[in-house]
Amino acid sequence: MIESSTPTMLEITETSRCTVCCCTLANKILMVLFMVLLIFAILFGNLVTLAVVLGTKHFHTPQGYLKASLAVADLAVGVFVVPLSIYAEVYLMVTDSAPEWTLYNSQSVSFHPCSIIGPIFAGCTLVSITTIFLLTIERTIAVLRPLHKDSLITRRRTTILIVLSWVGSFFLAILPMLFSSEIALEYNSCSRMCNYALGTIGKFPSQAWNILLLFPAFDFTLLCGTVVINIISLSSIRQHSKRRKHLAEAECQSTSKPTFSDIKAAKTIGTLTVAFTVSFTPIAVFVVGNVLGNKWCNFSFFAFWILAANSCWNVIIYSVRDQKFRTHAHQLLMPFQRNTTA
């Protein structure tokens, strides 16, 4: 999302353009192949998730709505963000020159593709974080207050929260351009995707830094809150499991305890939180490095594309952790398997 002091394609020479992903033709081909495979993985995984969640009555729950919202955010990365990078890199390989729009930032031309794609990537990343946070809250209530779950967590309230998370996330995504004329969007030669960057001023002013630092500050505040809530929830699950082992008869168990499905779902959301935290941490490290004056061009590529690759992890986590999801996904794919084997 944020890349501040790394050079644009206009500012680098052929020798300095040689990053770990693009030094040779073989590296460039592998990079484009990775991007193409990533698109297929994102589209396939998240379309399956949406088909299972929306097409199965069992998943028409607040948790199911949140998972659908998360899938839409991930799907947008595969539909809009990654294809633009593929176009720019294939164009560069075929013509041996970068597309003209990659040579300038959004302040230098009347229309720049990154003016749309950059906020989409930033907005969808923020939506993913807020949705995982909401999933964690929903599962924690189910574990700690199982008798109040249905009254506190309704589909109407969940829908309102989903809409607010999308509106708020995309407002934050366009905030840098609204409140600072010093911030632009560009196709960065290091990360190979659209990033926020310095406009026409040669040095980042403190106001621009303060605005851009809203992203990691907001992201890590929510992620830290999510991790803490997950720890509380999983600790409660562990205590409940220990108490259950000491019960000799089933009738002695209190009806106020969480169900097995609630416990399983809480562990799944915990896994989602860990996966997203792992994928987002390199971006945070990179931003801090930029503040300290480090460009870290090679690290920038890996950091941003690890975050983009996170968009295809969720369906894998659901398939491994959730047996009902796995069963419905298998049933959904059965007709296609029959057609391929016929």
Per residue of the chain (342 residues), what is the pLDDT tens digit?
A: 655 444 444 444 344 455 666 778 888 899 999 999 999 999 999 999 999 999 888 889 999 999 999 999 999 999 999 999 999 999 998 998 889 999 888 888 888 999 999 999 999 999 999 999 999 998 888 888 887 788 888 999 999 999 999 999 999 899 888 877 778 899 988 899 998 876 654 455 556 666 677 777 777 788 888 888 888 887 877 776 666 666 544 444 445 567 777 777 778 888 888 888 889 889 878 877 776 667 788 898 999 999 999 999 888 888 888 888 888 888 887 776 555 555
The domain 21-243+262-324 having CATH identifier 3.40.190.10: the answer here is: no
- pLDDT of the residue at 8: 46
The token pair that represents 94 in the structure block: 């075929």
Which residue from 321, 308, 302 is spatially nearest to 73, judged by alpha carbons?
Answer: 308
Closest Cα partner for 322 from 271, 279, 276? 271
pLDDT at 339: 57
Answer left, alpha or beta for residue 64, where phi above 0 means left and psi between -120 and 50 means alpha: alpha
The set of residues, in sequence order, having a beta carbon less than 8 Å from that of 323 and lying 6+ positions away, is none
- Of 8, 90, 30, nearest in space to 305 by CA: 30
**In the structure encoding, which two tokens stand for residue 118, read together?**
């950059």
Please, where are the H alpha helices in the chain? 25-55, 62-76, 82-95, 114-144, 149-152, 155-179, 206-212, 214-246, 260-291, 297-309, 314-321, 323-341
